[in-house]
Amino acid sequence: MNVRWCIGDKLFGAMAVLVLFVTLGYFGATHGYLKNRFEDYFKEKTTWPFESYYKEHDNSWEGIEDMKLSDELEQRSPDQREIALLSPDGSLLFYTGSGDPGSLIGQGKRNTVLVNGKTVGTVYADRWETTEGYLIKTHILDSMRTSSFRVPILTGIVALLLGVWLTRRLTQPLNRLIPAIQKIAAGDLRIRIPVTTRDEFGKVTETLNHMAQQLLRAEEVRKNLTADVAHELRTPLSNIQCKLEVIQEGGRDVPPETLLPIQDEVIRLSMLVDDLHQLTLAEAGKLRLDRSPTDLVPLLDRIIDRVKPEADERKIGIVRSYPAQKTMAFVDPNRITQVFYNVLTNAVRYTPSGGSISIRMTDRSRDGSRLAVVDIEDTGVGIPAEQLPFLFDRFYRVEESRSRHTGGMGLGLAIAKEFVEAHQGFISVQSEVGRGTRFTVQLPCD
């Protein structure tokens, strides 16, 4: 049977084991330290009288056999104050006790007597501690041994409580993420998770929200593209179908003029497919740009020459205003040509006969960078304020019937916006009903 361990169980187990080992290690180190300190203390108590005697008698053991022990040791029974002192050559210098010195020397505690770093004797002792010190040592060490059975239990309880708290604390962000991820997997791309921390969990949450936003945008693009293509293809395909049915019913040779409307619809479909392809690339951030320093003045002049025949036919004047110095922009000339062509043809299309279009170019600085600013302003019918926010949407038409009559597909301004933004530029529109519309395009010069 496979046991599945969640991250909370793993964190809890790791924390409990860590706390337990640290506590036991601390207990062992403390026990050893105290024991060694007691040993050093009682060693000093044993050797210190002999060191003092040796120094007081001019570095000699003369008369040591008559040395009097401390009052506390004298009060002990002989078997509790057994001490022997040997010279460096092994001779017995001092002994007190009731047993055999040889037995004590073989089994007792051995401590060296040092004077000025030189070994002057060796002390052997059995129960050499003072009564008070012995009781203190025994009581403390016995208490620590008793605690050794209690500490693991208390440590386990502390580790349990601490592990539960930390586990809940650390897994709380994950517990919020999991349901959101499941909803995203189920198709709910509008869900967003509040970012409550600034650690790795916070970064994961931000990344997940960004991913959901990107997926939602891609899904909306897909749905819009499907709906828009179906909507735009319906009319030309219906026209082609009707023409072909008429040709089939006629049963005679087809004159060229009968095929011209079909050719026009095919051309329109080809343009639509190409525009949609370019727009989709731009929206996905995959539009290829071949940038180079480009003089905008001749570029605008060539575009004006392309739209001038239609403008002249409708008696629409075109006024140009360029700066004296050459205006160079670091752009893809083909893409920017399409931008200005779309904007300018839109201006010609919606400017009534006898109106005018002005094209003005200036330089501007923003955040330390130079920008080429092109304003294209017409004296057309204008656009209602409530429709301006949607003007750059795909297939959006201010007046549906008139746009179709004039041949617009509602993609030109959407393409212009995406192309300009792909150059890190900006395009905006201002309009007043009855007075005209002004488009402003800003492009980087560097």
Residue closest to 350 by CA, chosen among 391, 429, 403:
403
39 with 7, same domain: the answer is: yes
- Predicted pLDDT of residue 331: 92
d(CA 439, CA 376): 5
- Predicted pLDDT of residue 144: 60
Residues paired with 113 in a beta bridge: 121
Within a domain: 115: no
Note whether 59 and 115 are within 8 A (CB): yes
Among 225, 257, 287, identify where a domain stops. Answer: 287
pLDDT along the chain (446 residues), means of 10: 58 71 73 70 74 85 78 51 82 79 73 86 69 56 62 69 76 78 82 79 84 82 70 74 76 72 77 78 83 93 93 93 88 92 92 94 83 94 88 72 51 89 93 93 88
Q: Exposed, middle or buried by CB within 10 Å (0-12, 13-18, 19+), for 263?
A: exposed
* Cα separations in angstroms, 80 against 6, 73, 138, 395: 62, 8, 16, 109
Residue closest to 431 by CA, chosen among 354, 360, 351, 353:
351
The CATH number of the domain holding residue 301 is 3.30.565.10
Torsion of CA 65, 70, 75, 76, to 10 degrees: -70
Residues paired with 374 in a beta bridge: 361, 441
- Predicted pLDDT of residue 108: 65
- DSSP of 387-413: GGGGTTSTT--SSHHHHHHTT--S-HH
Note whether 307 and 346 are within 8 A (CB): no
Give SS3 for 431: strand
332 with 433, same domain: the answer is: yes
Can you give the C-alpha Rg of the chain in angstroms? Answer: 49
- Tokens 């791309």 belong to residue: 189
Within a domain: 94: no
d(CA 446, CA 246): 58
Note whether 266 and 244 are within 8 A (CB): no
134 with 166, same domain: the answer is: yes
d(CA 48, CA 41): 10
- Predicted pLDDT of residue 70: 59
- Predicted pLDDT of residue 402: 44
207 with 312, same domain: the answer is: no
275 with 229, same domain: the answer is: yes
| Exposure string for 406-441, b = 16+ CB within 10 A, e = fewer | eebbbbbbbbbbbbbbbbebbbebebeeeebbbbbb
166 with 25, same domain: the answer is: yes
Among 255, 287, 319, identify where a domain stops. Answer: 287
320 with 371, same domain: the answer is: yes
User: What residues make up the domain containing 341?
Assistant: 289-444
- Give, to the nearest 10 degrees, the angle between helix 296-313 and helix 333-349: 30
- Predicted pLDDT of residue 79: 52
Q: Exposed, middle or buried by CB within 10 Å (0-12, 13-18, 19+), for 403?
A: middle
Within a domain: 373: yes
Give SS3 for 126: coil
146 with 209, same domain: the answer is: no
Within a domain: 106: no
Spatial CB neighbours of 181, under 8 Å, sequence gap ≥ 6: 208
Within a domain: 215: yes
Among 287, 315, 343, identify where a domain stops. Answer: 287
235 with 370, same domain: the answer is: no
Within a domain: 76: no
166 with 197, same domain: the answer is: no
The CATH number of the domain holding residue 265 is 1.10.287.130
Note whether 85 and 123 are within 8 A (CB): yes
- Predicted pLDDT of residue 347: 92
User: If DSSP states are collapsed to H, E and C, what string results for 60-124?
Assistant: CCCCHHHCCCCHHHHCCCHHHCCEEEECCCCCEEEEECCCCHHHHHHHCEEEEEEECCEEEEEEE
Within a domain: 259: yes
Within a domain: 99: no
Number of structural domains, the chain? 3
305 with 369, same domain: the answer is: yes
56 with 194, same domain: the answer is: no
